[in-house]
Amino acid sequence: MAHDGSLSLTENCVTPELLLSSRLCRYKRVRLTPLAPGITSLLPMRFVLFITATLNWLIAFASPLSADQELQPRATHQGIDQQTYDKLVLKLDYLKDALIWRKSLHWVPGLSNVGFATAHSGFMSGFNAVGKDVLGVVSWQTSQYPSYRIVLTGHSLGGAIASLGALVVKSALPQANVVLYTYGQPRVGNTNFASYLEKMIGVNNVFRVVHTTDSVPLIFLRITGYRHFGTEYWNFKDPASPATVTRCNGGEDPNCSRSQWPIHFDTHDNYFGIILPANNGFCS
């Protein structure tokens, strides 16, 4: 079974207990697949394929060594498949690397009283790789400038990791004024995670921005247990202006970005007129 000419899939699938509507399959890539403009990789890829009566589309995740590259989404469109109506099919290289697999938030050092909060294991791995160093620097800076706000921000995967960072910073520095801004961020954890973050950071200190039809915030489907936190600010029409950005009702407002079909990725890299991947020095 091949998709888009770049992936060759085996059909030795298993059905995990928690995902009875899903299948997990091993596969390997048979030729180069672009990761970004001008960048290719010979390493395997994992992807998630959603099939419905009217839509069949693919999100591919590279699996090189760094967590940043590993979790960057790509998408290609496929045809309609009436025979596989309303199925969620997950095709991954190994069960332990499942894109929707969550672990307890206790897995992030420094967090306590998390209850039943769970988060994407890949996002937590990405944060844990840098979290200790980041917290050390932020703690020192806060001691020098105690009246300053601490703003954590990120785009896409960076937004997911920033949300975990906000929790760790607030837990370590409870008196600090922590603010979180994310752009095009995917869902990070379950309902308990969303509630935990809102309680720790404060809903009024969380700004989660979605650009028009950006589908990355939708790729971890609600039926798999994922929920968005905080308040969404939806830039529903270009060009961005106060008149074209609406403050939504919570994180899962059905009248905001959730009202869009999750098939558009060309809007993911453009926020407020800035082409993010093309601005490597934007935050320097």
Amino acid 11: pLDDT: 34
Q: What is the pLDDT of residues 235-281, one digit of tens each?
A: 999 999 999 999 999 999 999 999 988 766 678 888 988 877 555 55
Residue 115 has pLDDT above 50, yes or no: yes
Residue 127 φ/ψ region, left for φ over 0, alpha for ψ in the -120 to 50 degree band, beta for the rest: alpha
Determine phi and psi for 9, rounding to 5 degrees. -115, 140
The fraction of the chain above a pLDDT of 90, given in percent, is: 36
Catalytic residues, by residue number, are 156, 214, 268
Amino acid 103: pLDDT: 81
Q: Strand, helix or coil at 3?
A: strand
Q: Region 33-48: what's the mean pLDDT?
A: 36
CB-based contacts of 141, cutoff 8 Å, min separation 6: 148
Which of the two residues, 225 and 167, has the higher pLDDT score?
167
Domains annotated on the chain, with CATH: 2-97 (no CATH), 102-278 (3.40.50.1820)
Amino acid 102: pLDDT: 78
Among 96-110, 116-130, 182-196, 255-269, the range of highest mean pLDDT: 182-196
Amino acid 248: pLDDT: 96
Amino acid 233: pLDDT: 96
Amino acid 92: pLDDT: 28
The region of weakest confidence among 100-104, 122-126, 220-224 is 100-104
Q: What is the pLDDT of residues 196-212, one digit of tens each?
A: 999 999 999 999 999 99
Tokens for 92, please give them: 């991954």
